[in-house]
């Protein structure tokens, strides 16, 4: 919550005096996602069989990309791809958890709500996660990490609205089974409810401040709202704005045989 409150409000032409509210909303959404990551990491640490590995960028190597393009993930078995290949593409998971006894690993991406993502975005995320999963075992071994015989990928939907196990999507209510900690989902919901109450209390306080500020401005300039409403009715958001300098100018339609120019955009100044 402290991180959410620390977000600096930037001037915004659209939101005006409400920019501070917008800044808090945007920051709170980000911090809520971070809260889910921290909660899952902490709860996984309570399972003695699990080890939460340091999060680092993992390379997306070309051979893994080509392999996934030509094969279904479930059909790929017993293939070890090199991880030390020059590549400019990486993917950084939110969490990387290893199971000590099974020698398995799980690459996790936590989303506050998957409903705000288009299907194509989820597919691209899934592809990147599978690509790094295919080289994660060798990548860890070369850095004195735990030896893993299997690495899987999981996308966690924090809103608990989506669940599609064959495609690697799990609802928040299924986190107990994923990290093998009873009551994990209930604990996260409790944390989230605490955070929500703090956010809503701060929003209420700031809303009151904005309303009081707006009321003071209206008292100082009682005709301001009247001028604005007249401008909106006339079809312009600024009734005092001068007529646009290009008003009335007509550009003739080009001929079919006329040459077409191209290049970079440039400023056009009227004189």
Q: Tell me the average confidence (pLDDT) per consecutive run of 10 residues in the chain, 271 residues long.
A: 88 85 92 96 96 91 73 59 64 95 95 91 91 86 84 94 92 96 96 96 91 80 62 54 55 70 70 50
Burial 41-70 (b: 16+ CB within 10 A, else e): bebbeebeebbbbeeeebbbbebbbebbee
The model's pTM is 0.75
- Torsion-angle region of 235 (φ positive above 0: left; ψ -120 to 50: alpha; else: beta): left
Pair type for strands 150-157 and 169-171: parallel
What per-residue confidence (pLDDT) applies to 236? Answer: 53
Specify the 3-state DSSP secondary structure of 43: helix
pLDDT at 233: 59
Alpha helices by DSSP H, listed for the chain, are 2-5, 19-45, 62-70, 119-141, 175-179, 184-220, 224-233
Partners of 164 in the β-ladder: 169
């Amino acid at each position: 919550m402290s991180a959410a409150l620390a977000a600096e409000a930037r001037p915004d032409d659209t939101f005006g005096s409400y920019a501070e509210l917008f800044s808090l909303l945007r920051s709170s959404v980000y911090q809520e996602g971070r809260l889910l990551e921290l909660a899952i990491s902490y709860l996984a640490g309570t399972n003695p069989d699990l080890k939460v590995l340091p999060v680092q960028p993992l390379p997306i190597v070309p051979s893994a990309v080509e392999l996934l393009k030509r094969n279904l993930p479930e059909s790929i078995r017993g293939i070890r791809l090199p991880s030390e290949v020059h590549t400019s593409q990486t993917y950084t998971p939110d969490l990387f958890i290893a199971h000590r006894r099974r020698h398995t690993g799980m690459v996790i991406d936590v989303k506050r709500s998957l409903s705000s993502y288009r299907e194509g975005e989820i597919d691209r995320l899934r592809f990147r996660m599978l690509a790094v999963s295919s080289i994660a075992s060798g990548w860890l071994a070369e850095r004195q990490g735990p030896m893993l015989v299997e690495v899987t990928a999981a996308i966690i939907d924090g809103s608990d609205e989506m669940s599609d196990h064959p495609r690697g999507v799990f609802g928040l209510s299924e986190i107990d089974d994923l990290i093998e900690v009873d009551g994990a989902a209930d604990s996260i919901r409790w944390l989230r409810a605490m955070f929500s109450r703090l956010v809503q209390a701060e929003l209420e306080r700031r809303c009151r401040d904005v309303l009081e500020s707006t009321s003071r401005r209206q008292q100082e300039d009682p005709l301001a709202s009247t001028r604005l409403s007249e401008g909106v009715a006339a079809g312009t958001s600024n009734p005092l704005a001068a007529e646009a300098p290009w008003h009335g100018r007509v550009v003739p339609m080009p001929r079919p045989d006329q040459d077409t120019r191209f290049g970079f955009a440039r400023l056009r100044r009227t004189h």
